[in-house]
Protein backbone atom coordinates (compact mmCIF):
# COMPACT_ATOMS: atom_id res chain seq x y z
CA UNK A 1 0.00 0.00 0.00
CA UNK A 2 1.31 3.45 -0.82
CA UNK A 3 1.91 5.89 1.98
CA UNK A 4 0.49 9.44 1.94
CA UNK A 5 3.93 10.71 0.93
CA UNK A 6 3.91 8.61 -2.22
CA UNK A 7 0.44 9.61 -3.42
CA UNK A 8 0.38 11.39 -6.73
CA UNK A 9 -2.39 13.85 -7.55
CA UNK A 10 -2.93 15.45 -10.94
CA UNK A 11 -5.31 18.00 -12.39
CA UNK A 12 -6.83 16.87 -15.68
CA UNK A 13 -6.41 19.38 -18.47
CA UNK A 14 -8.97 17.78 -20.79
CA UNK A 15 -12.47 16.21 -20.60
CA UNK A 16 -12.71 12.45 -20.80
CA UNK A 17 -15.88 10.46 -21.44
CA UNK A 18 -15.30 6.69 -21.83
CA UNK A 19 -18.61 6.41 -23.72
CA UNK A 20 -17.04 8.44 -26.52
CA UNK A 21 -13.85 6.38 -26.52
CA UNK A 22 -14.01 3.30 -28.77
CA UNK A 23 -10.56 2.11 -27.68
CA UNK A 24 -11.25 1.79 -23.96
CA UNK A 25 -10.64 -1.85 -22.96
CA UNK A 26 -13.64 -1.92 -20.60
CA UNK A 27 -16.15 0.93 -20.34
CA UNK A 28 -17.40 -0.18 -16.93
CA UNK A 29 -13.92 -0.03 -15.51
CA UNK A 30 -13.23 3.49 -16.80
CA UNK A 31 -13.34 6.83 -15.02
CA UNK A 32 -15.17 9.85 -16.43
CA UNK A 33 -13.62 13.23 -15.68
CA UNK A 34 -13.79 16.85 -16.72
CA UNK A 35 -11.04 19.36 -17.34
CA UNK A 36 -10.05 20.78 -13.94
CA UNK A 37 -10.91 17.66 -11.92
CA UNK A 38 -8.25 16.52 -9.47
CA UNK A 39 -7.47 12.82 -9.71
CA UNK A 40 -5.39 10.57 -7.52
CA UNK A 41 -3.24 8.30 -9.66
CA UNK A 42 -3.36 4.80 -8.29
CA UNK A 43 -1.31 2.97 -10.91
CA UNK A 44 0.91 3.99 -13.83
CA UNK A 45 2.18 0.52 -14.59
CA UNK A 46 0.58 0.35 -18.02
CA UNK A 47 1.85 2.84 -20.58
CA UNK A 48 -1.54 3.44 -22.18
CA UNK A 49 -4.09 3.11 -19.37
CA UNK A 50 -3.45 4.45 -15.90
CA UNK A 51 -5.72 3.84 -12.92
CA UNK A 52 -7.09 6.78 -10.96
CA UNK A 53 -9.91 7.93 -8.74
CA UNK A 54 -11.44 11.33 -8.09
CA UNK A 55 -9.86 13.21 -5.19
CA UNK A 56 -13.19 13.81 -3.46
CA UNK A 57 -14.21 10.19 -4.04
CA UNK A 58 -11.12 8.18 -3.17
CA UNK A 59 -13.31 5.47 -1.57
CA UNK A 60 -15.34 5.11 -4.78
CA UNK A 61 -12.73 2.88 -6.43
CA UNK A 62 -10.28 3.48 -9.20
CA UNK A 63 -11.01 3.45 -12.91
CA UNK A 64 -9.01 3.47 -16.12
CA UNK A 65 -7.91 6.79 -17.60
CA UNK A 66 -5.82 7.43 -20.73
CA UNK A 67 -2.16 7.81 -19.82
CA UNK A 68 -0.36 11.05 -20.58
CA UNK A 69 1.36 9.35 -23.47
CA UNK A 70 -1.84 7.97 -24.95
CA UNK A 71 -3.63 11.31 -24.80
CA UNK A 72 -0.67 13.14 -26.33
CA UNK A 73 -0.52 10.59 -29.13
CA UNK A 74 -4.23 10.99 -29.83
CA UNK A 75 -4.03 14.77 -29.90
CA UNK A 76 -0.99 14.58 -32.18
CA UNK A 77 -2.94 12.41 -34.61
CA UNK A 78 -5.90 14.81 -34.60
CA UNK A 79 -3.86 17.96 -35.22
CA UNK A 80 -2.33 18.98 -38.52
CA UNK A 81 1.30 17.84 -38.53
CA UNK A 82 2.56 21.31 -39.38
CA UNK A 83 1.52 22.56 -35.95
CA UNK A 84 3.96 20.23 -34.25
CA UNK A 85 7.67 20.32 -33.91
CA UNK A 86 9.06 17.37 -35.90
CA UNK A 87 9.79 15.22 -32.85
CA UNK A 88 6.24 15.60 -31.55
CA UNK A 89 4.85 13.63 -34.50
CA UNK A 90 6.54 10.54 -33.12
CA UNK A 91 4.45 9.47 -30.12
CA UNK A 92 7.36 7.51 -28.64
CA UNK A 93 9.21 10.63 -27.64
CA UNK A 94 6.57 11.69 -25.16
CA UNK A 95 7.89 9.45 -22.38
CA UNK A 96 11.36 9.75 -20.92
CA UNK A 97 13.65 7.05 -22.31
CA UNK A 98 13.95 5.18 -19.01
CA UNK A 99 10.20 4.94 -18.61
CA UNK A 100 9.71 3.84 -22.23
CA UNK A 101 12.34 1.15 -21.84
CA UNK A 102 10.88 -0.24 -18.63
CA UNK A 103 7.40 -0.34 -20.15
CA UNK A 104 8.64 -2.06 -23.29
CA UNK A 105 10.51 -4.70 -21.36
CA UNK A 106 7.51 -5.18 -19.11
CA UNK A 107 9.82 -4.42 -16.20
CA UNK A 108 8.01 -3.24 -13.12
CA UNK A 109 9.77 -0.41 -11.40
CA UNK A 110 8.54 0.52 -7.96
CA UNK A 111 5.58 2.88 -7.67
CA UNK A 112 7.65 5.48 -5.85
CA UNK A 113 10.23 5.46 -8.63
CA UNK A 114 7.60 5.89 -11.33
CA UNK A 115 5.89 8.70 -9.48
CA UNK A 116 9.23 10.43 -8.95
CA UNK A 117 10.04 10.13 -12.64
CA UNK A 118 6.65 11.54 -13.59
CA UNK A 119 7.26 14.46 -11.22
CA UNK A 120 10.68 15.21 -12.64
CA UNK A 121 9.33 14.90 -16.13
CA UNK A 122 6.32 17.14 -15.63
CA UNK A 123 8.42 19.65 -13.69
CA UNK A 124 10.28 20.60 -16.78
CA UNK A 125 12.92 18.06 -17.74
CA UNK A 126 10.66 17.37 -20.67
CA UNK A 127 10.49 20.85 -22.12
CA UNK A 128 9.18 20.50 -25.65
CA UNK A 129 5.68 21.61 -26.57
CA UNK A 130 3.05 19.11 -25.39
CA UNK A 131 -0.71 19.17 -25.62
CA UNK A 132 -2.31 19.65 -22.19
CA UNK A 133 -2.82 16.32 -20.38
CA UNK A 134 -2.30 16.21 -16.62
CA UNK A 135 -0.39 18.43 -14.27
CA UNK A 136 0.73 17.49 -10.78
CA UNK A 137 -1.05 19.21 -7.90
CA UNK A 138 -0.95 18.94 -4.13
CA UNK A 139 -4.18 19.01 -2.13
CA UNK A 140 -4.38 22.16 0.00
CA UNK A 141 -4.67 20.35 3.32
CA UNK A 142 -1.13 19.01 2.86
CA UNK A 143 0.38 22.46 2.42
CA UNK A 144 2.07 23.90 5.53
CA UNK A 145 -0.07 26.82 6.67
CA UNK A 146 2.77 29.30 7.05
CA UNK A 147 4.22 28.79 3.59
CA UNK A 148 3.34 31.23 0.85
CA UNK A 149 3.08 30.23 -2.75
CA UNK A 150 5.35 31.82 -5.30
CA UNK A 151 3.80 34.41 -7.63
CA UNK A 152 5.11 34.49 -11.18
CA UNK A 153 4.50 37.67 -13.10
CA UNK A 154 4.60 37.16 -16.84
CA UNK A 155 4.72 40.06 -19.23
CA UNK A 156 7.02 42.65 -20.74
CA UNK A 157 9.40 43.64 -17.92
CA UNK A 158 10.09 47.21 -19.01
CA UNK A 159 6.55 48.46 -19.02
CA UNK A 160 4.48 46.13 -16.86
CA UNK A 161 6.11 43.57 -14.63
CA UNK A 162 8.88 45.71 -13.13
CA UNK A 163 6.45 48.47 -12.24
CA UNK A 164 4.00 46.00 -10.72
CA UNK A 165 6.78 44.38 -8.70
CA UNK A 166 7.98 47.78 -7.48
CA UNK A 167 4.50 48.82 -6.39
CA UNK A 168 3.80 45.52 -4.61
CA UNK A 169 7.09 45.77 -2.71
CA UNK A 170 6.38 49.35 -1.66
CA UNK A 171 2.78 48.56 -0.71
CA UNK A 172 3.71 45.75 1.70
CA UNK A 173 7.42 45.07 2.14
CA UNK A 174 6.75 42.54 4.92
CA UNK A 175 4.56 40.47 2.66
CA UNK A 176 6.38 40.54 -0.68
CA UNK A 177 9.98 39.77 -1.50
CA UNK A 178 12.10 39.42 -4.62
CA UNK A 179 15.03 37.19 -5.40
CA UNK A 180 18.60 38.46 -5.54
CA UNK A 181 20.07 37.40 -8.90
CA UNK A 182 23.56 36.04 -9.53
CA UNK A 183 25.88 37.77 -11.97
CA UNK A 184 29.47 37.45 -13.18
CA UNK A 185 29.90 41.17 -13.83
CA UNK A 186 31.96 43.45 -11.61
CA UNK A 187 30.29 44.98 -8.57
CA UNK A 188 29.63 48.69 -8.98
CA UNK A 189 30.62 51.06 -6.18
CA UNK A 190 27.09 51.73 -4.96
CA UNK A 191 26.07 48.05 -5.04
CA UNK A 192 26.22 45.53 -2.19
CA UNK A 193 26.82 41.81 -2.32
CA UNK A 194 23.64 39.87 -1.54
CA UNK A 195 21.46 42.96 -1.94
CA UNK A 196 21.73 43.98 -5.58
CA UNK A 197 23.33 40.76 -6.82
CA UNK A 198 25.35 37.79 -5.74
CA UNK A 199 28.62 38.51 -7.53
CA UNK A 200 30.25 35.24 -8.55
CA UNK A 201 33.03 34.04 -10.85
CA UNK A 202 32.28 32.57 -14.28
CA UNK A 203 33.43 29.19 -12.98
CA UNK A 204 31.00 29.34 -10.07
CA UNK A 205 28.17 30.47 -12.32
CA UNK A 206 28.81 27.58 -14.69
CA UNK A 207 28.73 25.19 -11.74
CA UNK A 208 25.30 26.58 -10.81
CA UNK A 209 24.13 25.92 -14.37
CA UNK A 210 25.51 22.37 -14.40
CA UNK A 211 24.00 21.49 -11.05
CA UNK A 212 20.58 22.75 -12.24
CA UNK A 213 20.41 25.27 -9.43
CA UNK A 214 19.30 28.12 -11.68
CA UNK A 215 15.69 28.70 -12.66
CA UNK A 216 16.77 30.83 -15.55
CA UNK A 217 19.90 32.51 -16.81
CA UNK A 218 21.11 34.53 -19.73
CA UNK A 219 23.99 36.68 -20.81
CA UNK A 220 24.06 40.40 -21.30
CA UNK A 221 27.06 42.38 -22.56
CA UNK A 222 29.35 39.40 -22.03
CA UNK A 223 28.27 38.63 -18.46
CA UNK A 224 26.05 35.93 -17.04
CA UNK A 225 22.91 36.81 -15.09
CA UNK A 226 20.54 34.32 -13.49
CA UNK A 227 18.09 33.47 -10.73
CA UNK A 228 18.84 30.56 -8.41
CA UNK A 229 16.43 28.20 -6.72
CA UNK A 230 18.15 29.01 -3.43
CA UNK A 231 17.24 32.67 -3.80
CA UNK A 232 13.55 31.68 -4.03
CA UNK A 233 13.97 29.49 -0.93
CA UNK A 234 15.52 32.43 0.92
CA UNK A 235 12.51 34.68 0.24
CA UNK A 236 10.13 31.90 1.26
CA UNK A 237 12.11 31.24 4.45
CA UNK A 238 11.49 34.88 5.43
CA UNK A 239 7.76 34.06 5.29
CA UNK A 240 7.23 36.29 2.25
CA UNK A 241 5.46 35.87 -1.06
CA UNK A 242 8.26 35.54 -3.62
CA UNK A 243 7.57 37.60 -6.74
CA UNK A 244 9.29 36.04 -9.72
CA UNK A 245 9.60 37.47 -13.16
CA UNK A 246 10.40 34.64 -15.55
CA UNK A 247 9.96 34.07 -19.23
CA UNK A 248 6.95 31.82 -20.11
CA UNK A 249 9.32 29.12 -21.35
CA UNK A 250 10.85 28.89 -17.84
CA UNK A 251 7.57 28.58 -15.92
CA UNK A 252 7.76 24.79 -15.99
CA UNK A 253 11.05 24.95 -14.12
CA UNK A 254 9.30 26.64 -11.20
CA UNK A 255 6.06 24.72 -11.56
CA UNK A 256 6.86 22.33 -8.73
CA UNK A 257 4.92 21.04 -5.78
CA UNK A 258 7.28 22.98 -3.57
CA UNK A 259 6.62 26.41 -5.09
CA UNK A 260 3.03 25.86 -6.30
CA UNK A 261 3.15 29.14 -8.19
CA UNK A 262 0.29 31.39 -9.11
CA UNK A 263 0.94 32.68 -12.62
CA UNK A 264 -0.26 36.21 -13.29
CA UNK A 265 -0.27 37.59 -16.79
CA UNK A 266 0.40 41.29 -16.90
CA UNK A 267 -1.43 42.73 -19.84
CA UNK A 268 0.77 45.23 -21.61
CA UNK A 269 -0.59 48.52 -22.89
CA UNK A 270 -1.32 48.71 -26.60
CA UNK A 271 1.66 49.63 -28.75
CA UNK A 272 -0.03 52.82 -29.94
CA UNK A 273 -0.51 53.95 -26.30
CA UNK A 274 3.12 53.19 -25.54
CA UNK A 275 4.36 55.17 -28.50
CA UNK A 276 2.20 58.09 -27.41
CA UNK A 277 3.49 57.97 -23.83
CA UNK A 278 7.02 57.67 -25.10
CA UNK A 279 6.68 60.77 -27.18
CA UNK A 280 5.40 62.71 -24.14
CA UNK A 281 7.88 61.37 -21.58
CA UNK A 282 11.06 59.97 -23.03
CA UNK A 283 11.94 57.88 -19.99
CA UNK A 284 8.85 55.72 -19.83
CA UNK A 285 9.99 53.07 -22.26
CA UNK A 286 12.39 52.47 -25.09
CA UNK A 287 12.32 50.56 -28.37
CA UNK A 288 13.21 47.33 -26.52
CA UNK A 289 10.09 47.64 -24.31
CA UNK A 290 7.96 48.17 -27.36
CA UNK A 291 9.46 45.07 -28.91
CA UNK A 292 8.63 43.06 -25.82
CA UNK A 293 5.06 44.28 -25.89
CA UNK A 294 4.88 43.24 -29.51
CA UNK A 295 6.14 39.75 -28.72
CA UNK A 296 3.73 39.29 -25.82
CA UNK A 297 0.79 40.73 -27.74
CA UNK A 298 1.39 38.15 -30.44
CA UNK A 299 1.72 35.36 -27.87
CA UNK A 300 -1.42 36.40 -26.02
CA UNK A 301 -3.69 33.99 -27.84
CA UNK A 302 -1.27 31.16 -28.44
CA UNK A 303 -1.33 28.00 -26.42
CA UNK A 304 1.38 27.40 -23.86
CA UNK A 305 1.14 24.08 -22.00
CA UNK A 306 2.73 25.34 -18.83
CA UNK A 307 0.07 27.97 -18.39
CA UNK A 308 -2.98 26.22 -19.77
CA UNK A 309 -4.71 25.98 -16.42
One of 184, 227, 228, 292 touching ligand 5GP (CB under 6 A): 227
Q: How many CB atoms lie within 10 A of CB 78?
A: 8
Tell which positions 168-197 bind ligand 5GP, by CB under 6 A. Answer: 181, 185
Using CB under 6 A as the binding rule, whether residue 218 contacts ligand 5GP is answered as: yes
How many Å apart are CA 248 and CA 298, to the nearest integer?
13
Using CB under 6 A as the binding rule, whether residue 220 contacts ligand 5GP is answered as: yes
Interface region with ligand 5GP, contact rule CB under 6 A, candidates 51-59, 67-75, 127-135, 213-221 = 213-221
Residue among 5, 74, 7, 67 nearest 31 (CA): 67
Using CB under 6 A as the binding rule, whether residue 226 contacts ligand 5GP is answered as: yes
Using CB under 6 A as the binding rule, whether residue 248 contacts ligand 5GP is answered as: no
41 pairs with which residues across the strands? Answer: 8, 52
Using CB positions, name the residue nearest to ligand 5GP. Answer: 181
One of 16, 111, 134, 225 touching ligand 5GP (CB under 6 A): 225
Using CB under 6 A as the binding rule, whether residue 216 contacts ligand 5GP is answered as: yes
What is the DSSP track for 25-84? S-GGGB--B-TT-EEEEEE--SSSEEEEEEGGGTTS--EEEE-HHHHHHHHHHHS-GGGS
Using CB under 6 A as the binding rule, whether residue 217 contacts ligand 5GP is answered as: yes
- 271-280 and 287-299 are packed helices; what angle lies between their axes, rounded to 10 degrees? 170
Least distance from C-beta 169 to ligand 5GP, angstroms? 16
Interface region with ligand 5GP, contact rule CB under 6 A, candidates 6-14, 81-89, 131-139, 214-222 = 214-222
Binding site for ligand 5GP (CB under 6 A): 181, 185, 216-218, 220, 225-227
Amino acid sequence: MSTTKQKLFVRALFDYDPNQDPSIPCKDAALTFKRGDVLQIVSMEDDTWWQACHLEDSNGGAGLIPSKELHERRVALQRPKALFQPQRVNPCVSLPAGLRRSFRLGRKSSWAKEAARFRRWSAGVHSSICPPTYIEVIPYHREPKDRHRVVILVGPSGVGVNELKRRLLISDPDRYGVTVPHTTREKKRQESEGVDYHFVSVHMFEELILSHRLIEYGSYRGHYYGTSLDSVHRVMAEGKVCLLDVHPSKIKRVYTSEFKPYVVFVKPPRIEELRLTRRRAKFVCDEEDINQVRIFSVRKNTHSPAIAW
